[in-house]
Amino acid sequence: MTDIFDIRFLLVIRESKSLLEASRKLGLTPSAVTQRLQQMEKKLDLRLLDRSARQLRFTDEGEVLCVRGAELLQQFDALLEDLHERRRGFVGKLKINAPFGFGRRYVAPAVAAFKSLHPEVEISLTLSDQPMVEASDRFDVVIHIGQLGVSNLVCRTLAPNRRFICASPAFIARHGLIDSPEQLAHQPCIALHENNEDVTLWHLSRGRKTQSIRIRPSLISNDGNVIKQWGCDGQGIILRSEWDVADALADGSLVRLLPAWKLPDANVVALTHQREGLPERTRNFMRFLQDSFLPVPPWRA
């Protein structure tokens, strides 16, 4: 069986008056053209060109191959053009994975707004408590919050996000206001289980001083909304993202503890499998999501 390059080669010969003219069009020597033509005939076990004639004349089999091959080339070129249009345009499928809480509050509305602007894009949004543990190769974009471990995914920052240690006023009234990280080890704490991380080891820094405190959680959940609600209900001390507790801190449902100490930032990022060659729908969605957090993210507004 011949391939698509052989068909293009044959069509150039068919459009030429002689092998010499064909060789010029192909940028080859006449002997190279003849040799390749002989190799094709040997591979197909067919004679394609009648060399006894003064002018180039294809055999019946050679003519069929040219006519049918031209049709296939047209379909192939149309397929490539369609793929390029898909890359440039807003059609096709877009599969997104995001954490439960952040996905509900920020990603889902953005997906709906993006869909309204580009109705031809088929979007699938999956919310998960372990977006980095699941088969990320099934998704075009993975929204991740926090530090990124070893990964071959390409990371793009969407929005800044800090993390705070908080408790309710009722909890502070019962247990007192802590003034050092060491006290966390002896207080009722609540841990969020996500991405198979060590959620009982909290890292704090103040200037050049760093401390890692091993808490003993009295409650654990894989749902950030549950963690926040337990904290507001006075069940224990929580460590949560700024995006999640900013409203509770503003209305007094939670109070920030150890404000002089800093925890590692947990920026919101978008992960993809490659940096270049992404479909336009994927790149545009990430820009759209990024723009929704500008000039400042909602949790800092």
Of 40-54, 89-103, 218-232, 250-264, the poorest mean pLDDT is in 40-54
Assess whether 131 and 251 both reside in one domain. no
Assess whether 119 and 205 both reside in one domain. no
Assess whether 243 and 105 both reside in one domain. no
Assess whether 147 and 276 both reside in one domain. yes
What pLDDT, in 10s, does the model give residues 124-152? 999 987 655 555 567 899 999 988 776 77
- The pLDDT score that the predictor gives to residue 27 is 86
Return all residues near 33 (Cβ < 8 A) that are at least 6 apart.
Answer: 13, 19, 22, 23, 26
Does residue 70 fall inside a structural domain? yes
Assess whether 24 and 67 both reside in one domain. yes
CA neighbor of 228 nearest in space, from 98, 102, 97:
102
Return all residues near 25 (Cβ < 8 A) that are at least 6 apart.
Answer: 12, 15, 16
Matching residue, tokens 């094709």 = 40
Does residue 243 fall inside a structural domain? yes
Give me the CATH number covering residue 279. Answer: 3.40.190.10
Assess whether 239 and 180 both reside in one domain. yes
**DSSP helix/strand/coil, 149:** coil
What pLDDT, in 10s, does the model give residues 11-50? 888 888 888 888 888 888 988 888 888 888 888 888 888 8
Assess whether 174 and 244 both reside in one domain. yes
Does residue 54 fall inside a structural domain? yes
- The pLDDT score that the predictor gives to residue 1 is 44
Assess whether 129 and 64 both reside in one domain. no
Does residue 262 fall inside a structural domain? no
122 and 162 Cβ atoms separated by less than 8 Å: no
Does residue 42 fall inside a structural domain? yes
What pLDDT, in 10s, does the model give residues 154-193? 899 999 999 999 999 999 999 999 999 999 999 999 999 8
Give me the CATH number covering residue 16. Answer: 1.10.10.10
Q: Which of 64, 88, 112 is the last residue of a domain?
A: 88
Q: Which of 29, 53, 88 is the last residue of a domain?
A: 88
pLDDT > 90: percent of the chain: 51
Residue 48's H or E segment, with its range, is none
Expressed as residue numbers, the domain containing 291 is 92-161+267-300
Is the pLDDT at 213 greater than 80, yes or no? yes
Assess whether 148 and 184 both reside in one domain. no
What pLDDT, in 10s, does the model give residues 231-289? 999 999 999 999 999 999 999 999 999 999 999 999 999 999 877 778 888 888 999 99
- The pLDDT score that the predictor gives to residue 131 is 59
How many domains does the chain divide into?
A: 3
Q: Cα–Cα distance between 289 and 286 in angstroms, integer?
A: 5
Assess whether 153 and 167 both reside in one domain. no
0.95 surpassed by pTM: no
User: Which is more confidently placed, 195 or 134?
Assistant: 195
